[in-house]
Amino acid sequence: MSTRDVELLRGDARPSLGSSGRRWGEDGIRALLLVCACVSVLTTLGIIIALVQPAIEFFREVNLIDFITGTRWAPLFKPSSFGVLPLISATLLLTFWAAVIFIPFGLGTAIFLSEYARPGVRRVLKPALEILAGIPTVVFGFFALVFFTPFLQDIGLGLETFNIVGAGVVIGVMLIPTVASISEDAMAAVPQDLRAGAYALGATRFHVATRVVVPSAFSGIIASYILAISRAIGETVIALIAAGTIARITFNPEEGAASMAAFIAATGVGDVPTGSIEYKTIFAVGLTLFVFTLVMNIFSTRLVRRYREVYE
Amino acid sequence: MLKGDDMETAQATEPAVRLDRVEPAIADRSDPAAVAAVQVPPVFQVTGLSVTYGSHLALADVTMDIRSKAVTAFIGPSGCGKSTFIRCFNRLNDLIPSARVTGQVLYHEDDLYSPTVDPVEVRKLIGMVFQKPNPFPKSIYDNVAFGPRVLRRKDELDGRVEMALRRAALWDEVKDRLKTNALSLSGGQQQRLCIARCLAVEPDVILMDEPASALDPISTSAIEDLMHELKTDYTIVVVTHNMQQAARVAEMTAFFSVDVGEDGQRTGVLVEYDETQTIFTTPADPRTEGYVTGRFG
Ligand SMILES: Nc1ncnc2c1ncn2[C@@H]1O[C@H](COP(=O)(O)OP(=O)(O)O)[C@@H](O)[C@H]1O
Ligand SMILES: [Mg+2]
């Protein structure tokens, strides 16, 4: 028995398992990190409160059913009308045209990068995509207005200066990198074993991509689409610059129409008096937009969970 | 090292003696079919095959024949290039950008590495089962139907799937749940599913890279039984690091080892290739003897 054992037995020098004093540094860091985490939560709460308060006041003056089902949006005219459907329809149409672009091109880019591109090509293409993702949306907006729409007019389409299809397609192009990058990450997570297994059965590269890699990465691909749809719904500057500010229900993509976000931006920078009904419309539409995005997010988490493939 | 031709002569002159010396574990190979198989032309003739990964020579100058409708085993320490070598038979090394294969592999009479050969066509004839069971995250049915579907052999698909699962000795266990996800099967069942998936393509050769090393003993013996079953119709090449397994299932065994160069580069070489019983009882090369007795002792 060593002296240490004897000491332990006697209980003289029994080591303490309790804290050897408060670690102030540790507590300080913890508090700091908590503040960081709280900033976004508090901001979200603040936004909701700031939205809901004036929105409630708005709905004291305007019937909720009239707001949701009304087909005429004319808050600044007399007699005014507060049917939000024109703004919603323009928003969904822009999203539709964006999706027509980003769904195939985003996935195609991801498949190309993950399954076809040689390392050299990848090294060039990936940064190029990142540059595309880094271009400010206002640049895309002007690109749509002064280049893309005139181009479509030149090839014989009867577009108005402000139009849905030009804005929607450019929003779609803007979102290609988002879809490609998230989808490609999901594809990179597909085990190499599965690819080898498919090739060993005599599958071509195309079969491996479409029948093994894409289905296995499906949840990630869906997630990328949902994120892109959310961003298309909320896209403001491109819609404002290229699709205009006229609120109307139209299914003709050659015409322009104001989306929810475009309306909010246009009215917000205009000189509507604080507290007026016109001012409160901003918040009512903002709340509607918020509900849309929230529903998309809930929907996406559900869908992603449902399609998540388990690779052991 | 015995070349294919020398071996055939040796086999022809004294087959009875050879078979008398068989260990109990290898005895079931004494059926005449196996002996007769020696006269059939080889399925593969490998000549001077080397594989490099970038600048690393991983496998050097392998020359051997693979016998038809028999099991050929590759044994050797890990890292000696067994997987690299077996992947040469179905051009799977093509998927590794840094890999470069030189030398010749004749499949029946055709050069597998001739520029006119399409690797996709090669893999339809030469199937492969991997070390870790790799079923697709799809239903059991869709796994087996994968090959026939991509090869556009969709007539009688149900029949093909059933046949393949029966041949892989899995049908009775899964026939009531063909639509469930393959990942819900046990490891051993998953591996038999991978074999079924390979059989559904109706290959000529089945390559197996340590097909049982990730499995429990019962599943392992199920896979070994399956190899016995299948070798009447298929040529089987199997990598294993389990020597008893090689002794149990294989007619022919190749022993690979690693040569370490002055620069420390580790290169796989074929040390000895012969009848399995010769490799295990009277190997010609001391390295084989050391490895075999070391592992058995
Ligand atoms: N994909 C690869 N890329 C680079 N080197 C590899 C690759 N696969 C195997 N090697 C190298 O080739 C050698 C042989 O490996 P392998 O064929 O897997 O041996 P074994 O199957 O006998 O264990 C090893 O040195 C290994 O590092
Ligand atoms: Mg290996």
Nearest to A216 among B128, B137, B197 (CB): B137
Residue A1 lies in a domain: no
Please provide the average confidence, as pLDDT, over all residues in chain A.
89
Give the integer Cα–Cα distance in Å for A238 and A248: 18
ipTM of the complex: 0.84
Lowest-pLDDT choice from B37-41, B45-49, B112-116, B148-152: B37-41
Radius of gyration of chain A, Cα coordinates, nearest whole angstrom: 27
Q: Which of B51, B55, B59, B83 to mutate to test the pocket of ligand 1 (most atoms within 8 A of CB)?
A: B83
Q: Which two tokens stand for residue B115?
A: 């520029």
Going by C-alpha positions, the residue among B14, B12, B69 that lies closest to residue B37 is B69
- Pick the residue whose CA is nearest to atom 27 on ligand 1: B79
Please say whether the beta carbons of B240 and B246 come within 8 A: yes
Strands laid side by side in the B235-239 sheet: B110-111, B99-107, B44-53, B56-66, B266-275, B252-260, B71-75, B235-239, B205-209, B126-129
Distance from the alpha carbon of residue B83 to the mean position of ligand 2, in angstroms: 4
Give the integer Cα–Cα distance in Å for B230 and A110: 41
Closest CA–CA distance from residue B192 to any residue of chain A (Å): 14
Share of chain A above pLDDT 70, in %: 92
Give the per-residue pLDDT at B1.
Answer: 41
Give the per-residue pLDDT at A191.
Answer: 93
Give the integer Cα–Cα distance in Å for B164 and B144: 7
**Dihedral sign computed on CA atoms, order A57, A58, A61, A62:** negative
Count: domains in chain A = 2
Q: Are residues A57 and A79 in the same domain?
A: no
Going by C-alpha positions, the residue among A292, A282, A228, A256 that lies closest to residue A90 is A256
CB under 8 Å to B221, separation ≥6 — which residues?
A: none
User: CB under 6 Å to ligand 1: residues?
Assistant: B 53, 58, 78-84, 96, 98, 266, 268
Q: Are residues A150 and A278 in the same domain?
A: yes
Residue A106 lies in a domain: yes
Give the integer Cα–Cα distance in Å for A3 and A9: 10
Give the per-residue pLDDT at B297.
Answer: 40
Q: What is the DSSP letter of A19?
A: -
Going by C-alpha positions, the residue among B267, B239, B224 that lies closest to residue B86 is B239
Distance from the alpha carbon of residue B76 to the mean position of ligand 1, in angstroms: 13
Residue A116 lies in a domain: yes
- Helix, strand, coil percentages (3-state) for chain B, rounded to 5, are 40, 25, 35
**Dihedral sign computed on CA atoms, order A47, A50, A52, A58:** negative
Give the per-residue pLDDT at A3.
Answer: 61
Question: Residues A1-7: what's their mean pLDDT?
Answer: 60
- The domains of chain B, with CATH numbers, are 40-134+204-292 (3.40.50.300)
Q: Are residues A46 and A136 in the same domain?
A: no
CB < 8 Å to B127, chain A? 200-201
With residue A201 as reference, give the H or E element that holds it: none
Read off φ and ψ for residue A298, nearest 5 degrees.
-60, -45
Please, which residues bridge with residue B270 across strands?
B256
Q: What is the DSSP letter of A27?
A: H
Q: Using DSSP, state whether B101 is helix, strand or coil.
A: strand
Q: Are residues A56 and A35 in the same domain?
A: yes
Q: Is the pLDDT of residue B239 over 70?
A: yes
Give the integer Cα–Cα distance in Å for A167 and A142: 10
Q: Are residues A229 and A111 in the same domain?
A: yes
Residue A302 lies in a domain: yes
Q: Using DSSP, state whether B192 is helix, strand or coil.
A: helix
**Atom of ligand 1 at shortest range from CA of B85:** 17
Strands B99-107 and B71-75: unpaired
DSSP strands (E only) in B67-191: 71-75, 99-107, 110-111, 126-129
pLDDT band at A17 (very low <50, low <70, confident <90, very high): confident
What is the rounded (10 degree) CA torsion for A146, A152, A154, A160? -70
Question: Residues B28-52: what's their mean pLDDT?
Answer: 74
Q: Using DSSP, state whether A271 is helix, strand or coil.
A: coil
Residue A10 lies in a domain: no
pLDDT digits (tens, 9 = 90+) for A233-291: 999 999 999 998 899 998 899 999 999 999 999 998 888 888 888 889 999 999 999 99
Q: Is the pLDDT of residue A73 over 50?
A: yes
Strands B99-107 and B44-53: antiparallel
Q: Are residues A90 and A51 in the same domain?
A: no
Q: Are residues A214 and A293 in the same domain?
A: yes
Q: Which two tokens stand for residue B112?
A: 């597998």
Q: Are residues A121 and A221 in the same domain?
A: yes
Going by C-alpha positions, the residue among A241, A95, A111, A256 that lies closest to residue A172 is A95
Q: Is the pLDDT of residue B266 over 80?
A: yes
Question: Would you call the peptide bond into A54 cis, given omega within 30 degrees of 0 as the criterion?
Answer: no
Q: Is the pLDDT of residue A106 over 50?
A: yes
CB under 8 Å to A310, separation ≥6 — which residues?
A: B137, B183
pLDDT digits (tens, 9 = 90+) for A133-191: 899 999 999 999 999 999 999 998 888 889 999 999 999 999 999 999 999 999 999 99
Give the integer Cα–Cα distance in Å for B101 and A272: 75
Give the integer Cα–Cα distance in Å for B268 and B77: 10
- The CATH number of the domain holding residue A108 is 1.10.3720.10
Give the integer Cα–Cα distance in Å for B177 and B103: 47
Please say whether the beta carbons of B92 and A202 come within 8 A: no
Give the per-residue pLDDT at A155.
Answer: 92
Host domain of residue A24? 16-61
Give the per-residue pLDDT at A12.
Answer: 59
Q: What is the DSSP letter of A65?
A: H
Q: Are residues A30 and A173 in the same domain?
A: no
Interface with A, mutate which of B88, B90, B136, B160 (most A CBs under 10 A)? B136
Nearest to A194 among B90, B134, B201 (CB): B134
Q: Are residues A201 and A225 in the same domain?
A: yes
Nearest to A204 among B120, B127, B128 (CB): B120
pTM, whole model, 2 decimals? 0.81
Residue A2 lies in a domain: no
Q: Which two tokens stand for residue A140?
A: 């895309």
**Which residues crowd ion ligand 2, with CB under 5 Å?**
B 83
Q: Are residues A51 and A81 in the same domain?
A: no
Going by C-alpha positions, the residue among B122, B130, B120, B127 that lies closest to residue B206 is B127
Q: What is the DSSP letter of B183?
A: G
Give the integer Cα–Cα distance in Å for B216 and B220: 6
Nearest chain B residue to A216, by CA: B137
Give the per-residue pLDDT at B27.
Answer: 40
With residue A135 as reference, give the H or E element that holds it: none
Residue A5 lies in a domain: no
